[in-house]
Amino acid sequence: MHKEGNTWPQSLAAYDHLADEDLIFRYRQRGDLGAIYCLFERYAHLAFGCFASKGNDGSRCLAKVEALFMQLIRGGSGMEEQGFRPWLYRQCGVEEPCGPSPAAGISPEVRRKGWERFREGKAT
């Protein structure tokens, strides 16, 4: 049987009610990758938009988003002092959210592939 954190979440409904910091706590205490996946679903498009607003092409933006979430999985240095969202924006090089870039959005299929790369340890 798989450990909770090693399975692909069938639904994010179990995570919807949790605040960002609660998701981080859940990941750190239980190794629940579903909690990180929920954050990825909530914020990947915003990070992508921030990176796109700085002139990065789509593949470079996706690589930066992958690296950002890998950093989160590895501990997210400085997050405890700042909180998740301020940490995320700072990692994107902005003080406030840029918002999604409609022309450079991440499709659900691309998000799933990116997430699978995280799980396999292949993200940059």
Four-point Cα dihedral 35, 10, 41, 32, nearest 10: 10
- Is 48 contained in some domain? yes
The whole-number pLDDT of residue 12 equals 77
pLDDT at residue 61 is higher than 80: yes
- Is 47 contained in some domain? yes
Residue 78 CB-density burial (10 A; 0-12 exposed, 13-18 middle, 19+ buried): exposed
pLDDT at residue 113 is higher than 80: no
Give me the percent of the chain exceeding a pLDDT of 90.
Answer: 8
76, two tokens:
């997210």
- Is 11 contained in some domain? no
Q: Which of 29-38, 41-50, 52-61, 78-87 has the lowest mean pLDDT?
A: 78-87
If you average pLDDT over every residue of the chain, what do you get? 76
pLDDT at residue 1 is higher than 70: no
- Is 9 contained in some domain? no
pLDDT at residue 18 is higher than 80: yes
- Is 4 contained in some domain? no
pTM for the complete prediction?
Answer: 0.70
Range(s) of the domain holding residue 96? 17-120
3-state SS, residue 67: helix
Number of domains in the chain: 1
The whole-number pLDDT of residue 109 equals 65
Comparing CA positions, the residue from 12, 14, 17, 82 lying closest to residue 44 is: 12
- Is 12 contained in some domain? no
CA–CA separation, 27 and 9 (whole Å): 13
- Is 76 contained in some domain? yes
